[in-house]
Every structure is written in C-alpha cells, then in structure tokens.
Amino acid sequence: MSTRVDGRDTRWTQHRARRRRELVESTLRAIRGLGAGVGMDDIAAQAGTSKTVLYRHFGGRTGLFLAIVEAVDARILADLDAATAGADPEDPVGLVAAMVEAYLQLVERDPEIYRFVVTRPLVEGPVEDDPVAGLTGRIGEHLADELAAHRARHGLDPAVADTWGHGLVGFVRAAADHWLATDPRPPRAALVRDITAVFAPALTPQAPAPDPKDMP
C-alpha cells in the first residue's frame, strides 16, 4: 500500500512541476504579447485557465513573479556561459564585450520580459530576498570569477575582480535601462563599444612605468 501511495505522490509532484513550467511559459507569452504591465486576468486567459489555478500553483502574484525571474535568471546565465565559452580567456576586454553583448541581446530580444522583471508589476509588498538583486549579483559573480581567473594567470592581484565584476553589472544595467527607453535606439553594437571603452583601461594590463633612476 505504501509503495502505491509513494508512486502516486511522485506522479503528482511531477505533474505539478510540469504544470508550473507550462504556466510560466504562458506567462512569458502574455508578457511578450501584452507588455510588462500584464495582469493576472490576462495571464490566466493566455494560459487557458483561471486565476484560481495560478494562485494554487504559485501562492499569489508575488510567487508567479518569482517563478518568472527564476526562468529569466536561468536563460541569462546560460547565455553568459555561452558567451564566456566563445571568448578568448586571454582577452579580458573581449570577454567583457562578449558578456555585455549577450546581456543586451536578451534585453533587445525580449524588452517586455526585461521591463517586467525590473519593474515588478505583480509584487505585493516587500520581498524578503530581492530576486532582481539576486539575479544581478549572480551575473556579477560570474563576471568576477572570469576576471579573477584571468588576473591570477598573469600574476596580477585578483582581489579587484570582485569590485569590477559587480560594478560593471550595475553600470551595464543602468545603461541598458536608458538604452531601452531611448527613441530612436542606438545600435546594440554601439552601446557594447561604449561600455567596453569605459572599462578597457582597467582590464588591459599596463607595462610598469620606468624607474626615473633608469632614465637617461
């Protein structure tokens, strides 16, 4: 008897997880089609269900928002992993440019999803663990790890990589928000170039200044 109950529990858990994924995908489609200010009625209609079902699976509007951020988080980190894999590890400027390009590609490809995440239209009251801060923090850690590894390979102090990684992510997010609101919007490549130019001097190892005693 207990084995049959356990089997039913497993199937029910799998069904709920699959249904949550389907509802998240329906929500993403609703955001893309109707904009970042989409409401629960619109999301339920897109999913072909009711708000009651959404509340049952996510516990409320905030729960659905957190599930969307989790899905976007996974996509961004996958894109950044791909950008890192395709970049020359000995070229930190190129690495940063590739990661900025990957981030801005997502913003440009899914502007309403990006707006939905950063404006939090479904959030009801304060959230104990800010999911957006958590997302940018993980991106910052990802970049900091890459920069630290590069500096360590070249005998440079890796400690600054943490500040650079997190600072660069904040800079890119502010630039992306402004870029998305600009009409007409400059080409993405121009923004990547401009952002990279700000950080290139710090990322490019400089030859030590000559000792005045050795100068003729």
Domain borders along the chain are 1-59, 62-205
CB 124 within 8 A of CB 62: yes
Taking the C-alpha atoms of residue 159 and residue 147, their distance in angstroms, rounded to an integer, is: 10
CB 46 within 8 A of CB 33: yes
1-59 fold: Arc Repressor Mutant, subunit A (1.10.10)
The pLDDT value given to residue 95:
87
Average pLDDT, the chain: 85
Give the DSSP H or E segment for 103. Answer: helix 92-109
The pLDDT value given to residue 1:
46
User: Of the spans 7-21, 43-57, 112-126, which averages the highest pLDDT?
Assistant: 43-57
Which class for 109: exposed (0-12), middle (13-18), buried (19 or more C-beta within 10 A)? exposed
Nearest Cα residue to 67 out of 134, 131, 133: 131
Q: Note the pLDDT tens digit of each residue in 126-152.
A: 666 677 778 888 889 988 998 898 889
3-state secondary structure of 213: helix
Mean pLDDT of 76-103: 86
Taking the C-alpha atoms of residue 66 and residue 142, their distance in angstroms, rounded to an integer, is: 21
| CATH architecture of residue range(s) 62-205 | Orthogonal Bundle (1.10)
- Of 133 and 57, the one with more pLDDT: 57
pTM of the model: 0.77
Whose structure tokens read 């939905």?
A: 116
Taking the C-alpha atoms of residue 170 and residue 2, their distance in angstroms, rounded to an integer, is: 52
The Cβ-side half-sphere exposure at 186, using a 13 Å CA radius, reads 12
Q: Given this chain, do its domains 1-59 and 62-205 carry the same CATH topology?
A: no
